[in-house]
Amino acid sequence: AQSVTQLDSHVSVSEGTPVLLRCNYSSSYSPSLFWYVQHPNKGLQLLLKYTSAATLVKGINGFEAEFKKSETSFHLTKPSAHMSDAAEYFCVVSPTGANNLFFGTGTRLTVIP
């Protein structure tokens, strides 16, 4: 079975400080992993994806994530938060050979000026 656990439902950071959004997954085989962002009243946008290439994945807007198989983690980071980063972030897993995505419960990021 596959599942995704986002360890924090809400993260609050000051503008200019680092961002860390944590995600752990369980999957029977080597999965594909994604981070999507949802700004208020908007659809979801892909930030980055891991599909068994380099374990450190760079995405849009300065975000990156590292796939750690030994820890079954795929944490999302950004060195310096911007006000426009305030949004809901979803960690997503897709098992090998699957067509569908399994979403985590989301982490709401608040950026304090």
CB atoms < 10 A from the CB of 32, how many?
A: 17
Task: Find where tokens 């098992």 sit.
Answer: 95
Interaction of residue 101 with another protein, rule CB under 8 A: yes
Specify the stretch interacting with another protein by CB under 8 A; choose among 16-24, 40-48, 57-65, 66-74. 40-48
Give me the least distance between CB of 52 and another protein, in Å please. 9
Find the binder of another protein among 76, 94, 109, 111 (CB under 8 A). 94
Among 45, 61, 80, 110, which residue interacts with another protein (rule: CB under 8 A)? Answer: 45
In this structure, the number of other CB atoms found within 10 A of the CB of residue 72 comes to 14
Minimum Å distance from CB 39 to another protein? 11
Other beta carbons within 10 angstroms of residue 4's beta carbon come to 22
Between CA 45 and CA 31 the distance in angstroms is 20
d(CA 23, CA 101) in angstroms, rounded, equals 15
Binding site for another protein (CB under 8 A): 31-32, 36, 41-46, 49, 51, 88, 90, 94-96, 98-101, 103, 105-106
